[in-house]
Every structure is written in structure tokens, then in C-alpha cells.
Amino acid sequence: MTASKSDTLFAGSIPQLYERYLVPLIFEPYAVDLAVRVASQSPSRVLEVAAGTGVVTRRLAATLPRSATIVATDLNRAMLDQAAAVGTARSVEWKQADATSLPFADASFDAVVCQFGAMFFPDKPKAFAEAKRVLRDGGSLIFNVWDRIEDNEFADDITRTLATLFPSDPPRFLARTPHGYHDGERIRSELQAAGFRDISIDAVDAVSDAASPRDAAVAYCHGTPLRNEIEARAPGELARATDAATQALAERFGTGSVSGHIRALMIRASA
């Protein structure tokens, strides 16, 4: 599947809805895990790329010692503005930056961290090469990506449901981009080509909890670029698509609070 320009468009109300609904739904459990893994390396200077609305940044600020410097970057100014508005437990440097062209000196960080951002990089080998460049010798690149969509129940159900609403041109953002970079051998090969070594890739399972099927449907249909795809196919039909997604989740998981399986790949590599 070929990426669309709208796949990286986190604008309008998407950053706020992303933070309100999607962060607690699927990102928070992995942010805790990622921050612990980073802390185990005892880094003095940490660079976060594709920080989004700051869920990992907040965890890093709370987990790492105050002596550790944290620089958090994202390509999208609107996402960084939302992250800064939420705030962190201590001072963090926020900077708009492209992961494929980082505005930092060589060997200037002990760790580069990225949560669910690598899938969006238009040139992943180049982004990995940039991470390698800004890491000191022996520093760590620690990141995660979503596993295939079939192992992530809410995302899979919503994608299947929307395909029935738009059979001639189904919205495939979730399968194409967030869940489109899960081939372990490809990831390993691209990291090695960038000069990384001692690469580990582990599957990490978690549970996605929502107060209602509606909350889960809104998270995906309103709080991600999936919204752009829906509105491009049927202007004014976002509500109908969200209702259909809500009904599908309710039929499978119930009408009260709902829980679904999610799975990600956790990757660590040494510079």
C-alpha cells in the first residue's frame, strides 16, 4: 500500500482529540514500557523524535533523573503545541524537527527514542541514519512500532467496518501506515544498513481499554488521519462512519466499557 500525503496530516482538532481519546486508549501502556527501557540505559542526553502530543515525553520527564536532558521533537507543530500545553513534570526542550534531517550535531545524544513514529517516516533508512549520526558511540536507539493490524482488535474492526461503507475505495490509513511497518526482518535490515548493531526486536502485548465503544470509535475516526480519508470520500459523513464503527465495536465487545488486544514490536539497537 502506498502512503498518502494525508497520512501525516495531524491538523485541525486532531491533536486535541488524539490526546483526549487515543493516548489513553493505546499509547499510555507502551509509553510506560518505553520510558522504563530508556531509563535502564542511564542516559544523560535523550532525544525523542516524533513525540506527538508528548505521552512518552511526560513519562521520560517523570522517570529519568532531573540531571538528564530531554529534547522532544516532532514534524507537526500542532502536535508539539498540544504536548507543550499539557506540560511535563520538569523542563523539556520542545523543537519542531524532521526525523530524516535532524538539526543536531553528531554524537550529541546518549539515546534516541521514538514511540509509534517510525511508520510515518517517508524514508525510514534515512531517519535511522540520522539517529545513528546524532548518537554517541555505544548509544541506543529505542523505539516501537505497531504489529500487524490483525493483532490489534479495535483498529482491525474499524478498518473492516469502514470498508463496508466505502467498498469502492475503503479507507486504509490504519492498515497502510500505523500498522504497515511490522516486518521484523525489514526493520533489522534497515537498521543494520544505517550502521546499528546488537538489534533486538520483541513483541509486547497489552490491553486497550475504553469507557465505551463510542470513545474507541471517536479515537480512531476523529483523532487520527483516518478522519482525513473519511471526509475526503464523503464530506459530511464522518458522523455516520463513527456511528458504524461504534456499532461494530459494541456488537463484538459490548455496550459498556470495552477492552481489546493490542500488540507492538519493541526495538533496541546500539550505535
Q: For the chain, what are the domain ranges?
A: 5-270
**C-alpha distances out from residue 230 to 94, 159, 193, 222, Å:** 31, 11, 37, 10
Give yes or no for a contact between 203 and 187, defined as CB atoms under 8 angstroms apart: no
What is the grid cell recorded at 167?
467498498
pLDDT for 142: 98
Which stretches of the chain score pLDDT less than 50? Answer: 6-7, 9, 11
Q: What CATH number should be reported for the domain whose range is 5-270?
A: 3.40.50.150
Other Cβ atoms less than 10 A from the Cβ of 148: the count is: 15
Other CB atoms within 10 A of residue 54 CB: 27
pLDDT tens for residues 156-204? 999 999 999 999 999 999 999 999 999 999 999 999 999 999 999 999 9
pLDDT (0 to 100) of residue 1: 52
Please give the pLDDT value at position 3. 53
Mean pLDDT of the chain: 94
Exposed e or buried b per residue across 99-122, where buried means at least 16 C-beta atoms within 10 angstroms of its C-beta: bbebebeeeebbbbbbbbbbbbbe
pLDDT of residue 9: 47
Task: Classify burial at 5, counting beta carbons within 10 Å of its beta carbon; exposed 0-12, middle 13-18, buried 19 or more.
Answer: exposed
